[in-house]
Amino acid sequence: MDRSITKPLDFIYTNVLGTVNLLNAARKFWERPFEGKLFYHISTDEVYGSLGKEGMFTETTAYDPRSPYSASKASSDHFVRAYHHTYGLPIVISNCSNNYGPHQFPEKLIPLFINNIIHMKPLPVYGKGENVRDWLYVEDHARAIDLIMHQGKNGETYNIGGHNEWKNIDLIRLMCKIMDKKLGREPGISESLITYVKDRAGHDLRYAIDASKLQTELGWKPSLQFEEGLEKTVDWYLNNNDWLEHVTSGQYQNYYREQYEKR
């Protein structure tokens, strides 16, 4: 369940009021002409709403958020742009597609299903699993952020996408095959855990990012195809099972404290 559906105010406080508080702090402590300063706002492709079978989101796509989460992110984007135009605050915004990779909290699809497969738990798939997402490996996203921060133009928006569109059910079946191989299980064991559940409210059909502006103007492009990135991700979680166990057991705060004290 999307937590923004059950607790929308949490996302308003964090994404809307939190962003405005940061913008006000920047205005208060940065001295004009703001030389050497930049307010970098990281957003999501969900602010654009839902696509049909064709087309892609560009930086000029009209906003059409469909969930409390995406509405809160859209609002924060608008405030960042408003502070740029009203107060001259130097800003850039990037809207990215679904991230995946090491250290992702296991409420998200890929680490959640990796953990469920390890423990032979059901793999709940919304509807028929036909919703399409564009997947971006976290290290490719980090490279894009670094590039935009240093070379992006003041006041501009950049879309960051992985050029990796996958139906949820196809992604899950691929992950099941990889997990069966890595865990030494008979083929099909993990896939037998797939359980179809009622579709989520406000579940957008398809997201797809057109990242050609970022590629043309700044020279960025994703380094990994999804199959390679997914296998690297699976390997990381299998090799860091202690981290995964601590996080899923609710002991992640103690775990990070222990790791910090070891430094």
DSSP state, residue 249: T
Report the alpha-carbon distance of residue 51 to residue 63 in Å, rounded: 12
Beta strands (DSSP E) in the chain are 39-44, 91-96, 98-100, 123-126, 132-137, 157-160, 165-167, 194-197
Instruction: Tell me, yes or no, if 46 is annotated catalytic.
Output: yes
Amino acid in the structure at residue 74: A
243 backbone dihedrals φ, ψ, rounded to 5°: -60, -45
Instruction: Tell me, yes or no, if 107 is annotated catalytic.
Output: no
Residue holding tokens 């940065």? 30
State both tokens at 5: 């559906």
Closest CA relative to residue 94, chosen from 130, 142, 50:
142
DSSP state, residue 57: B
Closest CA relative to residue 102, chosen from 226, 229, 3, 249:
229
Choosing from 45, 77, 165, 204, the catalytic residue is 45
Choosing from 48, 59, 69, 165, the catalytic residue is 69
Report the alpha-carbon distance of residue 3 to residue 68 in Å, rounded: 9
**Active centre residues (catalytic):** 45-46, 69
